[in-house]
Chains A and B, each alone.
Chain A
Amino acid sequence: GDSVTQMEGPVTLSEEAFLTINCTYTATGYPSLFWYVQYPGEGLQLLLKATKADDKGSNKGFEATYRKETTSFHLEKGSVQVSDSAVYFCASYLGNTGKLIFGQGTTLQVKP
């Protein structure tokens, strides 16, 4: 069945370090892909999305490119801040049912 796999966490970085969180998916067809972020004590909010191959989603300095050939949607940021500490979820979207399939989440801790 369809699934999303993320790298294991927690990821601990120093401020201004480069961030990569890996995400790969399996799907029949070509799903839309999303990154959601969950700050402590809050619900999920959309960080960025891409709807077709080679699309790049970007927001708040984060970027991810939809790579059909490697079935990947890795999240990157050039210089992380303490305020980026959160749990990040990769998700794929089955348009005909409305169901989001989530990865297991990756906790990011950024230290000053």
Chain B
Amino acid sequence: EAQVTQNPRYLITVTGKKLTVTCSQNMNHEYMSWYRQDPGLGLRQIYYSMNVEVTDKGDVPEGYKVSRKEKRNFPLILESPSPNQTSLYFCASSPYPGFQETQYFGPGTRLLVL
């Protein structure tokens, strides 16, 4: 089944404790992206990747890191999480960032930083 998977689905952590949220897609997509969803703000892009070893900042990159060493994986790293990073996170992918391409979303990771 073609899908985007994220792990973990739920995570409670404390301020300053490094964490990684994994994202993997099995559709051989070139493009991958991370969004965060907050009430009243919709989804905002954190980072995106056009292809392996190519990443760039989205609208809200502060406090996050990403890497794209393999085509299928695009982990999101929070080196020192803070309470304002409590949010619902979505990974997405598409064949390539073309004009008409649909993006496919993972199920989401709900993060609580205490």
Residues of A whose CB lies within 8 Å of any CB of B are 4, 32, 34, 36, 42-46, 49, 51, 89, 93, 95-100, 102-105
Q: A44-B90, A44-B105, A104-B40 are in contact. Are A95 and B98 (CB under 8 A)?
A: yes
Q: Secondary structure at chain A's binding surface: helix, strand, loop or mixed?
A: strand
B106 touching A43 by the CB < 8 A rule?
yes
Quote the shortest CB–CB distance from B51 to chain A (angstroms): 11
A97 touching B43 by the CB < 8 A rule?
no
- Interchain CA distance A14-B43 in the complex, whole Å: 28
Residue of A nearest to B58 (CB): A99
B45 touching A100 by the CB < 8 A rule?
yes
- Interchain CA distance A96-B42 in the complex, whole Å: 21
Q: A43-B105, A98-B48, A99-B58 are in contact. Are A104 and B99 (CB under 8 A)?
A: no
- Let me know if B24 is at the binding interface, CB within 8 A: no
- Let me know if B41 is at the binding interface, CB within 8 A: yes
A97 touching B44 by the CB < 8 A rule?
no
Which residues from chain B contact A93 at a C-beta distance below 8 Å? 99-100
B97 touching A95 by the CB < 8 A rule?
yes
Q: A98-B31, A98-B97 are in contact. Are A89 and B43 (CB under 8 A)?
A: yes
- Let me know if B94 is at the binding interface, CB within 8 A: yes
A43 touching B108 by the CB < 8 A rule?
yes
Quote the shortest CB–CB distance from A50 to chain B (angstroms): 10
Quote the shortest CB–CB distance from B82 to chain A (angstroms): 23
Quote the shortest CB–CB distance from B113 to chain A (angstroms): 21
- Interchain CA distance A42-B50 in the complex, whole Å: 25
A43 touching B90 by the CB < 8 A rule?
yes
Of A43, A46, A49, A89, which contacts B107 at CB under 8 A?
Answer: A43
